[in-house]
Amino acid sequence: MKKSQKIFVQFGICFFVISLVGLLINNLTINLTRTGLGFNFNWLFKPASFALAEHPLPYSSSDNYAWALFIGWLNSLKVIVSSLMLATVLGTLIGFARTGKNALLSLLSAGYITIIRQTPLLLQLMFWYFIGFLGFKDNTFIHIKNIIKISNQGIELSGLTLSSEFSALLFGLGIFTSAYIAEVIRGGILSVPKGQWEAFRSLGLSEKKGLLSIIIPQALPAILPGLTSQYLNLAKNSTLAIAVGYSDIYAINDTIINQTGRAIECFLILLTSFLLLNLLICNCMEIINKTILNSRKYN
Amino acid sequence: MTNISISSIIIYFQKIRRNLSSNLFNTFLSLVLLLIISLVCLNTFEWLIFDANWKVVGSNLPLFAFGSFPSNEHWRPAIWIISLLVISIITLFGPKWKWLRKNLLMAWISTIPLGLYLLYGGFGLTPIMSRHWGGLTLTILLTTCSSLLSLPLGIVLALCRQSSLPLIQKLSSIYIDVMRAIPLIAVLFFGQLLIPLFLPVGIEIDRVWRAIFAFTLFVSAYIAEDIRGGLQSIPKTQIDAANSLGLNQYQIIQLVLIPQALRIALPALTNQSIGLFQNTSLMAILGLVELLGVGRSILANPEFIGQYIEVYVWLAFVYWLVCTIMAVLARHLEKRMTINPANF
């Protein structure tokens, strides 16, 4: 294409996009004035007047909407971080079991991965909530002295109480993501050439030592990008908390929309909160990535 | 003859023994695993056959399949689902006649207008509103329509992102990155609640189409990234070769780039459509009565209250079955589409 043609095409497309957006915004303003809502964020500082079952920081229903939203964001972060850890531990174990020597264990983990990956997450969450936690008929499932108590009230772990909604979400998200992480780990281990295994064995290193100091350091650069995208998926999937009644950022936005009708503003808030969450996860993973690559360089 | 088979069996068992009991720890682990597996299997079978009350599934089968579609018109979605199954079977096991294989793609695409005609009615059939659609029929409809619509949009977005025009490249990058950063449920929420606000007064789109639209917007961003991966792995020499053959830019895109990129991205694309099928279950939260939504409404019925396990196990089985069929079809397609890598 000639240069003038290029500029013309770009100009045309830009004009098209701008006029489309303008048309949509025009429709929006007409619709908002028709319903008498308008567009502003003043309502954020009015009392929220709904209760939250779970709040890591003090909250009462007379606090304002902005504070409620912040609590929701913290709740999201709490469930994301804890299920992220569960998923990583489980996923690593299953990934190693999948690539390990024991054929039975490998078969078993392959079955686990297929079953988890071929049913919807929402169904799994509901399963954990309605069957896993609310389903205990005699209220208590496990009760070992004062160390751990699992009942339809949730999990009590030596003083730390987790509600049944949180626990269901933790297990659901953790187990769902662990199947994907296991595949990432397996891919990473398989990406290490077979000669490396033979080499450390012929050097007389034990399997454990060889795995830890030869195979895993080489598999990590292949594993980390996949792991990051699985963590981001987990963060996005945590919005399904609304199905089990956990008050995360999406659920609180939903409640506020039902109360005030401020759909557009809440949607923008939701987008911004997710942008923040994504940035947080990406930056953390970037730091981890750099540390690991640096530690390899100097050794 | 018997000698050979006996010795091969012996070798087979020796292999298993070597695999399972290379050292003491492995032997122990295998035994414990075997014990656990057999216990779990026994308990599951006992529950499946004796303890579970399958009446909740058996008496609601039409509801699971067709939702609240009028019962004297059930044959319409049934014909559609059966025709999809027949085409799948023909694709997998059918004869290798050339004309059949050539027209198979057209047959697959034409199932969508067929399904829409059968569901909507008109032209001789009783018209039925989309709010009566539901169950597995609606789930499959959402999946097929959104995948078919998001493929061209994804291709266009991927090409735009690779384009040499900076403005177009920026615009499509922003769209793709934003879509990939936000959760699906937010996009679906946008589709159900916010799209009506953006439309001029008096124009309305029904809920099913709004859902399909939202799914299309979301999935096309992911498809665009998959196809971009395909485009980037095409060697630069291909474009030089096409240029030296005298093809113009559109011919290069249409005849050289897109077919190869699609073939490379095929496994990722089929995974996207399987993921899409599972994700249609999110519409249960937003008020469409698709497969999971039917399950929820049945559990809310006082007659079946508390029978969570039966309903959820049944739903998990249906989702698993359809996903497996899709995965088998995808593998078949991948096998047919692979070429000798030495040609590159």
CB A174 within 8 A of CB A185: no
Instruction: Please tell me which of the candidates B165, B185, B197 has its beta carbon nearest to residue A9.
Output: B165
- Give the mutation candidate from B179, B197, B217 for the A interface (greatest A CB count, under 10 A): B197
Inform me whether the pLDDT recorded for B272 exceeds 80.
Answer: yes
- Contacts of B19-22 with C-beta under 8 Å, sequence gap 24+, read B19/A101, B19/A102, B19/A103, B20/A102, B20/A103, B20/A104, B22/A101
CB neighbours of residue B227 within 10 Å: 28
SS3 B162: coil
CA distance A76 to chain B (A): 13
Residue predicted with more confidence, A298 or B88: B88
How high is the mean pLDDT of chain B? 86
* Chain A residues lying within 8 Å of B196, measured CB to CB: 31
Instruction: Please tell me which of the candidates B30, B190, B324 has its beta carbon nearest to residue A267.
Output: B190
pLDDT at B228: 92
Instruction: Please tell me which of the candidates A14, A118, A250 has its beta carbon nearest to residue B323.
Output: A118
Tell me how far apart the alpha carbons of residues B156 and B253 are, in angstroms, rounded to a whole number: 11
Residue the block writes with tokens 């008109």: B122
Bridge partners of residue A144, in order along the sequence: A148
The pLDDT tens digits for A104-128 are 888 899 999 999 999 999 999 998 8
Q: Is B190 on the interface with A (CB under 8 A)?
A: yes
CB B210 within 8 A of CB A52: no
User: Kindly report the CA angle at B43 between B41 and B49, in degrees rounded to 5?
Assistant: 95
* Chain B residues lying within 8 Å of A28, measured CB to CB: 197-198
Q: Which of B307, B304, B256, B280 is nearest to B147 (CA)?
A: B280
Inform me whether the pLDDT recorded for B56 exceeds 60.
Answer: yes
Tell me how far apart the alpha carbons of residues A280 and A216 are, in angstroms, rounded to a whole number: 26
Domain count, chain B: 1
Give the distance from CA B97 to its chain's centroid.
Answer: 27
Say how many CA atoms lie within 13 Å of A194 toward its Cβ. Answer: 1
Domain count, chain A: 1
Percent of chain A with pLDDT over 70: 94
Inform me whether the pLDDT recorded for B342 exceeds 60.
Answer: no
When pLDDT is cut at 50, 70 and 90, the band that residue A92 belongs to is very high
B153: left (phi over 0), alpha (psi -120 to 50) or beta: alpha
Q: Is B181 on the interface with A (CB under 8 A)?
A: yes
CB contact under 8 A, A274 and B198: no
Inform me whether the pLDDT recorded for A278 exceeds 70.
Answer: yes
String of b and e for A117-153 (b: at least 16 CB within 10 Å)? bbbbbbbbbbbbbbebbbebeeeeeeeeeeeebbbeb
Tell me how far apart the alpha carbons of residues B320 and A173 are, in angstroms, rounded to a whole number: 18
CATH number at residue B135: 1.10.3720.10
Tell me how far apart the alpha carbons of residues A13 and B193 are, in angstroms, rounded to a whole number: 28
When pLDDT is cut at 50, 70 and 90, the band that residue B21 belongs to is low
The pLDDT tens digits for A195-233 are 999 999 999 988 888 888 888 888 888 899 899 999 999
When pLDDT is cut at 50, 70 and 90, the band that residue A139 belongs to is low
Examine residue B311 and state whether it is found in any structural domain, yes or no.
yes
When pLDDT is cut at 50, 70 and 90, the band that residue B314 belongs to is very high
DSSP B99: H
Inform me whether the pLDDT recorded for A152 exceeds 80.
Answer: no
Examine residue B45 and state whether it is found in any structural domain, yes or no.
no
CB contact under 8 A, A6 and B292: no
Bridge partners of residue A64, in order along the sequence: A47
Residue predicted with more confidence, B214 or B73: B214
Nearest-10 crossing angle of helices A65-99, A216-237: 140
Residue the block writes with tokens 């058996």: B58
Residue type at B319?
Y
CB contact under 8 A, B312 and A239: no
CB B100 within 8 A of CB B168: no
Examine residue A262 and state whether it is found in any structural domain, yes or no.
yes
User: Kindly report the CA angle at A86 between A83 and A91, in degrees rounded to 5?
Assistant: 120
Examine residue A50 and state whether it is found in any structural domain, yes or no.
no
User: Kindly report the CA angle at A183 between A180 and A185, in degrees rounded to 5?
Assistant: 110
- Arithmetic mean of pLDDT, B319-337: 89
Examine residue A24 and state whether it is found in any structural domain, yes or no.
no
ipTM of this complex prediction, to 2 decimal places: 0.86
% helix, strand, coil for chain A, step of 5 = 75, 5, 20
pLDDT at A86: 95
Of B19-33, B43-57, B135-149, where does the model show the most confidence? B135-149
Q: Where are the alpha helices (DSSP H) in chain B?
A: 2-20, 24-46, 55-58, 61-66, 75-93, 98-120, 135-161, 166-181, 184-189, 195-198, 207-232, 236-244, 249-251, 258-279, 291-300, 308-337
CA distance B52 to chain A (A): 14
Residue of A nearest to B16 (CA): A103
Tell me how far apart the alpha carbons of residues B337 and B78 are, in angstroms, rounded to a whole number: 31
CA distance B166 to chain A (A): 8
Q: How many helices (H) and strands (E) does chain A have?
A: 10, 4
CB pairs < 8 Å spanning A and B = 133
Q: Domain of residue B284: give its range.
A: 63-343
Residue of A nearest to B280 (CA): A120
How high is the mean pLDDT of chain A? 87
Phi, psi torsion values for B239, nearest 5 degrees: -70, -40
Examine residue B288 and state whether it is found in any structural domain, yes or no.
yes
DSSP A161: E
Examine residue B44 and state whether it is found in any structural domain, yes or no.
no
Inform me whether the pLDDT recorded for A270 exceeds 70.
Answer: yes
CB contact under 8 A, A10 and B166: yes
* Chain A residues lying within 8 Å of B16, measured CB to CB: 103
Q: Which of B83, B70, B73 is nearest to B112 (CA)?
A: B83
CATH number at residue A160: 1.10.3720.10
pLDDT at B193: 86
Examine residue B265 and state whether it is found in any structural domain, yes or no.
yes
- Token pair for residue B203? 């124009």
- Token pair for residue B62? 């039409």
Phi, psi torsion values for B126, nearest 5 degrees: -65, 130
Residue predicted with more confidence, B341 or A33: A33
Inform me whether the pLDDT recorded for B2 exceeds 60.
Answer: no
- Token pair for residue A140? 């208590």
CB contact under 8 A, A271 and B190: no
SS3 A157: strand
CB B274 within 8 A of CB B327: yes
Examine residue A52 and state whether it is found in any structural domain, yes or no.
no
Tell me how far apart the alpha carbons of residues B147 and A283 are, in angstroms, rounded to a whole number: 33
B10-29 residues touching A, CB cutoff 8 A: 16, 19-20, 22, 26, 29
Among A12-16, A284-288, B283-287, B305-309, name the one with the lowest average pLDDT. B305-309
CB contact under 8 A, A270 and B327: no
- Token pair for residue A123? 């169904």
* Chain A residues lying within 8 Å of B312, measured CB to CB: 123, 126-127, 130-131
Examine residue A16 and state whether it is found in any structural domain, yes or no.
no
Q: Domain of residue A236: give its range.
A: 63-298
CB B330 within 8 A of CB B270: yes
pLDDT at B8: 76
- Arithmetic mean of pLDDT, B92-121: 82
Residue the block writes with tokens 């012996």: B10
String of b and e for A17-42 (b: at least 16 CB within 10 Å)? eeeeeeeeeebbeebeeeeebeeeee
When pLDDT is cut at 50, 70 and 90, the band that residue B53 belongs to is confident
Say how many CA atoms lie within 13 Å of B194 toward its Cβ. Answer: 20
Instruction: Please tell me which of the candidates A27, A104, A242 has its beta carbon nearest to residue B285.
Output: A242
Instruction: Please tell me which of the candidates A127, A131, A240 has its beta carbon nearest to residue B185.
Output: A240
